[in-house]
């Protein structure tokens, strides 16, 4: 059920899309299909961070189609923050073999199609992606967004417990999901998909 506001925003985006090749983003999504997404970036400032790697995996029904994954290394124009290298383990020379941001995003958009996008702290990743997309397509990513930490918050918050720990490890623990190992974009995308699947099932009891 889409609200009026969303519908108006979508119409606006459709009209402002500069490249007709990407009109498929506004097609009707295949039923019960999603794309879980995660990016590694040069730093954590959404206004200047550049893409280093993108991973995405499709979700169909209860199934995470890991076999149809998309994993793309991206070559940034600027330098990678020293502090970040220790976290994502992508050095300048590793990134040198990556795709140009535009080629990587073109592949990503075709992979996502009109499907809703799932992610953890999606706001940041999409802010970075939209910064690349706007000068090119005229719009940001128009797809519906599903923030797993928001789903988790809705499920776990109560009058007695207004504070909910929304760190990834706390959520995995709370949902009894495996930690696949962090700071690998594919694993992060898989874990977001797992959280989504678990929370989209009716009646999962909240755990303290």
Partner 1 sequence: MPARFDFSRPPFDCLTEIERSEFDEVMDLEYFAAGETVIGPDQEVDALYVTMKGGVVEAGSDDPAAYRSGAPFDTRALVAGRGTSHLVAQEDSILFRIPRDTVLALTRRNPMFGAYFYQDVAKRLAFLAHRPFQRELQSLWMARVRQAPVGEPRWLDDRASVLDAACAMRQHHVTSVLVRGAEGVGIFTQSDLRNAVIDGVDTRSEAVALRARYELHTVEEDDFLYQAMLTMTHHGIQRVVVTREGEVVGVLEQIDLLAFLSNHSHLVAAQIERAATLDELRQAARDMERMVTLLHGQGVKVTLIAELVSELHHKLLARLFAMVAPPNALAHVCLLLLGSEGRGEQIMKTDQDNALLIEDGYRHPDLPAAAARFNELLVEFGYPPCPGGVMLSNPRWRQEIGPFKRQLEQWMDHPDGENAMNLAIWQDATPIAGRTDLYEQVRMHFTRWFAQDGGLLARFALPVEQHFDTPRPLLAQLWGAEQRDALDLKKSGIFVIVHGARSLALEAGVIGANTYRRLDALARGGHLDKQQARDLAEALAFLQALHLGHALRQVQEGKPVDYRIAPNELTTLENDLLKDTLAVVKRFRAHLRHHFQLDTL
- Residues of this chain that bind partner 1 (CB under 8 A): 62-67, 176-178, 180-181, 184, 186-187, 190, 193-194, 197-198, 201, 204
**Cα-Cα end-to-end distance for the chain:** 32
Q: Which is nearer to partner 1, 61 or 78 (CB)?
A: 61
C-beta separation of 22 from 142 below 8 A: no
Q: Which lies closer to partner 1 via its Cβ, residue 47 or residue 62?
A: 62
155 vs 150: CA distance, rounded Å: 9
Least spacing, CB of residue 192 vs partner 1, in Å:
12
Complex with partner 1: residue 33 or 81, whichever CB lies closer: 33
Between CA 50 and CA 160 the distance in angstroms is 41
In the complex, what is the shortest distance from the CB of residue 36 to partner 1, in angstroms, rounded to a whole number? 11
- Please, what is the minimum distance in Å from the beta carbon of residue 60 to partner 1? 9
Query: CB of residue 80 vs partner 1: minimum separation in angstroms?
Result: 22
Comparison of 44 and 204: residue with beta carbon closer to partner 1: 204
């Amino acid at each position: 059920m889409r609200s009026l506001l969303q519908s108006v925003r979508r119409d606006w985006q459709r009209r402002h899309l500069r490249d007709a090749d990407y009109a498929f983003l506004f097609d009707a999504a295949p039923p019960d299909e999603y794309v879980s997404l995660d990016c590694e970036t040069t730093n954590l400032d959404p206004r200047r961070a550049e893409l280093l790697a993108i991973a995405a995996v499709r979700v169909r029904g209860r199934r995470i189609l890991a076999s149809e994954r998309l994993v793309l290394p991206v070559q940034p124009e600027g330098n990678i923050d020293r502090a970040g290298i220790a976290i994502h383990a992508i050095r300048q020379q590793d990134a040198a073999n990556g795709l140009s941001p535009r080629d990587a995003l073109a592949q990503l958009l075709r992979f996502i199609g009109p499907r809703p996008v799932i992610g953890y702290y999606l706001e940041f990743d999409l802010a970075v992606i939209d910064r690349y997309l706007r000068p090119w397509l005229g719009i940001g990513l128009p797809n519906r967004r599903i923030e797993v930490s928001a789903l988790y918050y809705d499920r776990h918050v109560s009058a007695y417990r207004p504070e909910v720990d929304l760190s990834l490890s706390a959520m995995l623990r709370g949902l009894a999901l495996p930690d696949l190992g962090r700071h690998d974009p594919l694993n992060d995308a898989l874990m977001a998909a797992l959280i989504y699947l678990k929370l989209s099932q009716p009646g999962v009891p909240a755990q303290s």
